[in-house]
Amino acid sequence: MQYLVSVIAEPTDSGTPEEMAAIDVFNDRLRAERHWVFAGGLGGPDTATVIDNRSGAAVLTDGPFVESKEYLAGFWVIESPDLDVALELATAGSKACNRKVEVRPFLGE
């Protein structure tokens, strides 16, 4: 089963070299223990563009879809047999990136 581990950051946050190094160590662990699926860091909310093409005439809007103090700074997609393992990994991930994280399951087939 796959889980999305979202990294929650505040605008003033910017990753330090120590955090980057800790994230590398954590990523190595995910790979070694076969939990790794995918991960990535994202540009800040000011780099976002919202597109609404529900009507067929796309409307582009500058900025994130929701204005809030906290934003999604990056994520991991992990493979885990159950929530307990996912939570344990997310706990280590939160420590490594020095941010709050949110865990959510992907919907089943």
Residue 69 φ/ψ, nearest 5 degrees: -65, -40
Nearest distance, CB of residue 102 and another protein, angstroms? 11
Query: Any idea what the Cα angle at residue 37 is, between residues 5 and 10, rounded to 5°?
Result: 30
Q: Does 100 engage in binding with another protein (CB under 8 A)?
A: no
Contact 13, 99 (CB under 8 A): yes
Joined together, the tokens standing for residue 62 give 């500058």
Contact 48, 63 (CB under 8 A): yes
**Could you tell me which stretch among 27-35, 36-44, 57-65, 79-87 binds another protein (CB under 8 A)?**
79-87
CA distance 61 to 49: 6
Rg (CA), the chain: 16
Q: Does 57 engage in binding with another protein (CB under 8 A)?
A: no
Nearest distance, CB of residue 37 and another protein, angstroms? 16
Q: With respect to another protein, which residue has the nearer C-beta, 52 or 102?
A: 102
Nearest distance, CB of residue 107 and another protein, angstroms? 8
Among 83, 95, 100, 102, binds another protein (CB under 8 A): 83
Query: Which positions touch another protein (CB under 8 A)?
Result: 1, 3, 81-84, 86-87, 103-105, 107-108
